[in-house]
Structure formats: structure tokens, C-alpha cells
Amino acid sequence: MPQDVEKELRQIASTDRVSINFLINQALRRFVEWDYYADRFGFAVSPTPRWTVFARLLSFTSDQEAAQLGRWAARNVAKEFTVFWFKEFSVRTALKSLELLGSRFARRFEYVHNTSGKEHVVILNHGMGRKWSIYYEYLVRTVFEELLGKKVNIEQMRNQVVARVQE
């Protein structure tokens, strides 16, 4: 390992109070579980969402255009991504995809999922404002209603979307 890389690893490990082994394992896990596949699917590493070009562009759209973009993303990306990752498209795998895109790897939003009987309650807490809530509402609505044929009730707030998906 080059000395400059080792020095940087030691500094990060010291700052985060973890071992170098922990950092290496974390990096390898992220590569195996996300980066390798994300790269093959066309995802790119970017800064936090509020600083991306897409985030800035979305702020200039009308509410109707943000909704159209959410529907487009569901129809053209979400289903393919879910099938690519999980080899099937179902309520369970669609929820897992939201988890992956949310808090696990892409970190676009905080993902919370609870289930009670025949209803899944999904919370996407994004902190990005109303246009993102519109975008996420229509992405979720299209995935579950149009593509999976499930009943969905959505409550949209400025920085959060709550979806109740009937099983």
C-alpha cells in the first residue's frame, strides 16, 4: 500500500476512532454491495443531493414537471433497477430498492418502513423541499399503483413523503 494512502487511512481511523481494518472492510463491502452494480447500471457518485446539478435543475421545474419526472423515473428507472438488483419486481423488492436508494447506499433520503398487517408505511425524509416531495410522491405512487397495481395513500409535506401501501 502506498505510504500516502496508509497515512490517510491512519488519520481517518484515528479521527473516527476505528481500526484501519474496519475502514478497509467498509470500503470493500460498499464496493461489492453497491459501487460495482451501481456503476454497471449507470449511477454516478455525487455530493449530497442538495448540491447536485439534478437538485438545482429540479428547483426550476413547475410542480407538474416535478410530478412528470417522478413518474418517468418510476417507469424508466425504478422497475429496471429493482429487477436488476433483486431479479423480480414485487412490493417487497420495490420497498427494498427504496431502502437501497435511500439510507443504505445512495443516501438520497432517510428511509423508514413499518408494516402493520396488510399495510406498509414508508417514510422518505429528504430535507430537500417541496419539489422533491412532489418528485418522490409521484415516483412512489407510480411504482406501487401503476406498475404493481396496489392502492397507495400518500401524505406529502415540505421535506417528507409518507406512503401507505396496501398489500
- Given a contact cutoff of 8 angstroms between Cβ atoms, the answer to whether 166 and 150 are in contact is yes
Domain ranges of the chain: 3-41, 66-166
Task: Note the pLDDT tens digit of each residue in 83-109.
Answer: 988 999 999 999 999 988 876 555 678
Number of Cβ atoms within 10 Å of the Cβ of 21: 10
**Range with the lowest mean pLDDT among 22-31, 53-62, 73-82, 92-101?**
22-31
Number of Cβ atoms within 10 Å of the Cβ of 58: 20
Supply the pLDDT for residue 6.
Answer: 81
Q: pTM, whole model, 2 decimals?
A: 0.72
Supply the pLDDT for residue 142.
Answer: 97
Retrieve residue 87's grid coordinates: 431479479
Mean pLDDT, residues 37-52 taken together:
57
Q: What is the band of 165 on the pLDDT scale with cuts at 50, 70, 90?
A: very high
Task: Classify 62 as helix, strand or coil.
Answer: coil
Task: Note the pLDDT tens digit of each residue in 110-162.
Answer: 888 899 888 999 999 988 889 999 999 999 999 999 999 999 999 999 999 99
Handedness of CA 101, 103, 109, 112 (dihedral sign): positive
Taking domain 66-166, whether its CATH number is 3.30.360.10 is answered by no
Supply the pLDDT for residue 124.
Answer: 92
Supply the pLDDT for residue 5.
Answer: 78
Q: How far is CA 77 from CA 41, 54, 97, 142, in A?
A: 10, 15, 11, 12
Q: Which of 34-43, 44-53, 157-166 has the highest mean pLDDT?
A: 157-166
